[in-house]
Every structure is written in structure tokens, then in C-alpha cells.
Amino acid sequence: MLAALLGGTTSVFAAPAQDQSRAPAMTPDCAVPENDIANPAPLPNLIAKLKKKTTIHILAIGSSSTYGTGASSSVASYPSRLRPILVKALKGVDIEITNRGVAGEMAQTTADRIIDQVALERPDLVLWQLGTNDALARVPPDEFEATVRDTVSWLKAQDIDVVLVGLQYVPRFARDPSYVAIRRVLQKIATEENVLYVRRYQAMRFIERMRANERIMSADHFHLNDLGYRCMAEHVASAVIINLFAKPVHSHE
Amino acid sequence: MRAPNEIDFWRGMALATIFINHIPGNFFERFTFRNVSLSDSAELFVFLAGWSLRFQTNRSTGVPVFGLVLRLGSRAMQVYFAQLVITEMAVALLAAAAVYYDASFLLDWHNAAAVFSDPVKTHVGMILLTHQLGYFNILPLYVVLVACAPLIAICARYASWLVLPLSAALYVVTLSTGINVPSWPIGGSWFLNPMAWQFIYVLGFVMAGKDGLGDFVRRHRKVFFALGLPVIVCGLAVAITHFSPRPDSVPSPKLFFMFDKTFLSPARLIDLLALAAVFAGSFPFLMRWIPLPVRYCSLLGRHSLNVFCVGSLLSLTGQIVRFAYGGALLTDAIMVSVGLAIMGIVAWLPEKRDAFRKAVPSTKSLPAS
């Protein structure tokens, strides 16, 4: 699989069309249609680094969903679950994931920490999970947008790909105006900046609606449980892998 | 009660600003000075804390070294206990709000989640200051600085020329190596690195002195004013454009050239010093034209620790209010006005108490009948 990737040309940079056959299979509990998982976007810098390096350093930063609130232990958090999936999919590449989730943190503070982390560790990929706390603290959407956009373009300008991981699905806030507005802003930034955006909200809602007996939330009806985090890891992995192997539209046989 | 003075005024302004800035998204946040400068109220607060350390050591001239250590050491304990109390109160405030609004996610806010999900380790971490709540991370830095104050004061007494070079050396080593105090039980490090931030504290201390750098700065005040102006303009440009240097475009050690808050990169430090150089001396002018706000800020500044603690809890309350009632302009206006009023009352009460004490002499001082 990696050989195919390494053999790829610059044409992989172009393109939204996805080769879904290469995506790691999702477990039945977590399976969600691809369209519900992510907004496709290329990961050119990660591809370039995969060609040169044997170890890829990923920074997973964000709030409680990254830290793993509600999980039975830190190894059940989504970054910990993500690593083996990526190692399996990208054979021959070692993956290091640093978890820098701080529960309840807002994007503005995380943005400061991203600058610091990038200066110190220079990750190859940043997974930024965000939005929920800003929505609940009623941060104005335009302010949130400016913060996220500044940081995303700052990362892009130095050839670091970023994946935005969106808000979780919480039935209580399904119609909450701030919650809806912050989700819209993330979608907008992802489209305009052409960065990969994992639509957690849609993916979780799909599972909740289609498999009503399945519990992916912990007892507080807000945080994920171990199964929820496993699904989150599978969804992020799927989004990353599919977009790594994205093919340009014109090369379709 | 001392008359309003420059240091108390700016300290009070920093306190009011921190209160407003720590309610993210509120309308009045856009009028605080971090929107027009690179540095913000945290730098100002720490710089002025160093400045007032000089006043304390000056008052202790003639006091034996051990006495000085005891005096400054007890202050460090006071700040440490204040940090523990407000952290616990913040945790309780979030818990109460979570129960009242049936909103368990409030238990998450500002890194509080671990207190509830991993209480065994986290309680140890809170006492060790390695577990800090978001927006409650200035005081732990202050605890470390005040704990080091006896060392600074002793060094200043016997070899005053050595204070600044030692501090600068630690700052350079910290930024070159990227070392920081680790946080625990949650991985990571302190949001405000004390080994970097001590430099601005010591600079405040040294500049407040009547000799050495303090004397030099005062004698060349006009030069520093002229140097400060273009720096402030650059800070303004950076704040407006949201420019932030990229690590791949600056030479190593990179922390020297970035605008890093955790490590107090030189750009932020210089910006604060420029603001100080330009606005120092504006106090009499401000006192004349806007006496009421100046008196109010000076009142806050005279009781900075109490006001800081209450302000931190009020900010958190403000965040909860915004969650519950939405972020309308009217909510923000009421919240900020009530908050500032409470901070004023907290500062005013001990002054009133002292005034009563003076008016009615205590029985101890009465002559025996």
C-alpha cells in the first residue's frame, strides 16, 4: 500500500476524488457512510513527508474528546486508538501521536498552544478537535472563525497539514443556535481553506439514529465512552487514509 | 490607604482587563489593549508585580536577611493558599452549575474534567500546582515568582549587579532548550513557563530600583520614549494583521523569534517594555482628565491579590452566565458592570475596615485603668 503511495506522482495533490477501497475497514459498530465522515481535501504535505520519512509525528490537540473524558483509561482515548489503525494502513511507517487535549478548552487558547507545540516539536500532521466549548461558551462565530482561520493558514504556510475534527452530536444541542453556527463556520473554513474536516456530528448522528441500541456516549450524555472513542478514531483514520490516497479526477480509468 | 499612584493604577487596570479577557467571546473583550498590542495584561501584571517587589524590599532596608526572607516567604504562602482556595472554589462553581443546569459538560471546562474523572491523582496535582485550570494559570506562575522573591532580594542586597544577568541567563537557557515545568497527571507543560516569565518579573524589580538599570532608564527616559513609539506601532500592526512568525522561517533557537506566550518570546517582552516606556509618566495627566476610572483602578491595584482572586471567579461565573443566557450585548454589559462593581467592593471593604479601626482605637491600646 505504501509502495503505491510512494510511487505516486504529484498528481495526488490535486484531487477530491477518493479511492475508498484503500480505507481501513470500519468495524460494524462504527461503520458510517463515507459522505458522513469527512469533507474531502488533499493532504499534500503529509504525502510528501511519507515519501521521505519513516516516522510520522502527529499532534492531536483539542479539548475533552482528545483528552478522553469519559473513557475508561487514557489508552481508550481516540489518539491512542488511532495509532494502531494508521500503523496497519501505512505499512512500514512508524506513527507517533502526542495527545495534547485539555478538557473544556476553547479554540483561542488551543491556538496559542499550537504555536508553542509546533515551535518545539514540529509535527507532520495536526489533528485539531474543536468547536464544542466555543459553542457552549457562546463565543461569537466570527471571532471563532478568525481564530481558527489564522491558525489553519499559519500551519498551511509552513507545510503542515491540519485536520479539523468537529463537534460531537449531542441531541440536547441539535437546535442550539450557537452549536449550529459554530458547525457551519467549521464547514465554511474547511471548504474555503481546503482542509480535511471530520464531520463528527454527522457520523455520530448516523450511528445514534441507525443503531439505537448502540451506546457510544457515556452516562453524562455528552462525552463519548470507549466505543464512542473507538469509532471516533476509526472515522478520523478513515478520513486521513482515504484522502492520502485521493486520486485526481482526470486519472479515473 | 495610600493615595492613588501610578503602579496601583496600572495594576488595577491589568486586573480589570484580565477579568474581561477571561470571559471569552464577550463584547467588551474587543476593547482591551491586547487587541492593539502584541503583549497583554498578563505581561503587565507580572512586570508590575516585580516592580512592587522592589517597594517591599526597600521597606525592609535595615531588616536582617532572615527577617526579609520570612516576610517575603509568608507572602509566597499567602499567594499559594489563595491559588488553592480559588481553584477549589472554581471546581465547586462548575460542579454547582453542572447540577443546577443539568449540564455535566460544565465539569469539563478549563481542564477541570480530571478533577472529577481522575480525582486521586488530580488532587495531588492541584496541590503541587502541576494541575492548573485554564485561566487560573497566572497565579501558579506568581506563586513560583514570589517564592523566589527572597532569593532575588538577597541577591539584590549583596550583589545587586548580579540579579539581572542571572535572570537573563536563565531566560536564554530556557528559550534555547525549550525546557518547561511539566503538568501532571495530564501530559503537557505549564501554560506560562515560570523559567521564562521570571525575566519580566526581575526586569520590573530592577527597573524600579534607583540605581543600575533603573537609574539608567530614568535618565534616558526621552530616548526610551522615542524608541518605544515605533515598537508600539509594530505591535499594533501585528495585533491587527494577526501576524505570527512561522518556526520554519526563523533561525534556531526558534523560541527567540516567535511570538510565543508560554515562553514569553522577546517580541512580547519588548512590546510590554515599549508600552511601559511610552505610558510611564502619563498618570498625572490621566488623573486630571479621567479621575474616577483612575481612582477606581488604583483602588483595585492596592488590593491586587484579593481582587485577582475574586476577578478569576467572576470571570468563570461570567462564562457560565453566557452559557445559560446566551451572549447578547445586554447580558455582557450587565455581567461586566456587576463584575467590576464587585471587584471594587472587594477592594473597598478592607479599606473601610481599616478606617473603622483607626477611628475606634482597640482596647489593647487603651491605657490600663
CA-based nearest residue to A238, from A9, A10, A30: A30
B362 versus A19: the higher-pLDDT residue is: B362
Indicate which of B105, B117, B176, B262 best probes the interface with A, i.e. most A CBs within 10 Å of its own CB: B105
Q: Do A137 and B258 touch (CB under 8 A)?
A: no
Q: Do B24 and A70 touch (CB under 8 A)?
A: no
Place of cell 482597640: B362
Of A64, A112, A137, the CB nearest to B322: A137
Domain assignments of chain B as residue spans, ordered by start: 22-280, 285-355
Segment among A16-20, A133-137, B112-116, B350-354 with least mean pLDDT? A16-20
- Chain segment A49-88, per-residue pLDDT in tens: 888 878 999 999 999 999 988 888 888 999 999 999 999 9
Residue type, B323: F
The mean pLDDT of B161-180, rounded to a whole number, is 96
Q: How far is the C-alpha of B192 from the C-alpha of B141, rounded, in Å?
A: 7
The mean pLDDT of B243-264, rounded to a whole number, is 90
**pLDDT higher than threshold 50 for residue A7:** no
- Total CB pairs under 8 A between chain A and B: 110
Q: B194-207 vs B212-219: helix axis angle to the nearest 10?
A: 60
Write down all domains in chain A, each with its CATH number in brackets.
Answer: 2-248 (3.40.50.1110)
Q: Do B113 and A67 touch (CB under 8 A)?
A: yes
Mean pLDDT of chain B: 93
Q: Does A194 touch chain B (CB under 8 A)?
A: no
The mean pLDDT of B95-110, rounded to a whole number, is 91
Q: Do A140 and B327 touch (CB under 8 A)?
A: yes
Hey, what's the cell of A102? 485539555
The mean pLDDT of A18-46, rounded to a whole number, is 78
Strands A196-198 and A161-165: parallel
Q: How far is the C-alpha of B338 from the C-alpha of B333, rounded, in Å?
A: 8
Q: Do A150 and B246 touch (CB under 8 A)?
A: no
**pLDDT higher than threshold 70 for residue B210:** yes
Residue A67, min C-alpha distance to chain B (Å): 8
Residue B310, min C-alpha distance to chain A (Å): 20
Calculate the CA A76 to chain-centre distance: 17
DSSP SS3 for A38: strand
**pLDDT higher than threshold 70 for residue B127:** yes
Residue A1: CB atoms within 10 Å: 14
Place B365 in a pLDDT band, splitting at 50, 70 and 90: low
* Angle A133-A136-A139 from CA coordinates, rounded to 5°: 85
Residue type, B356: F
How many CA atoms lie less than 13 Å away from B136 in the CB half-sphere? 29
The pTM score is 0.86
Q: Do B25 and A116 touch (CB under 8 A)?
A: no
pLDDT for residue A71: 86
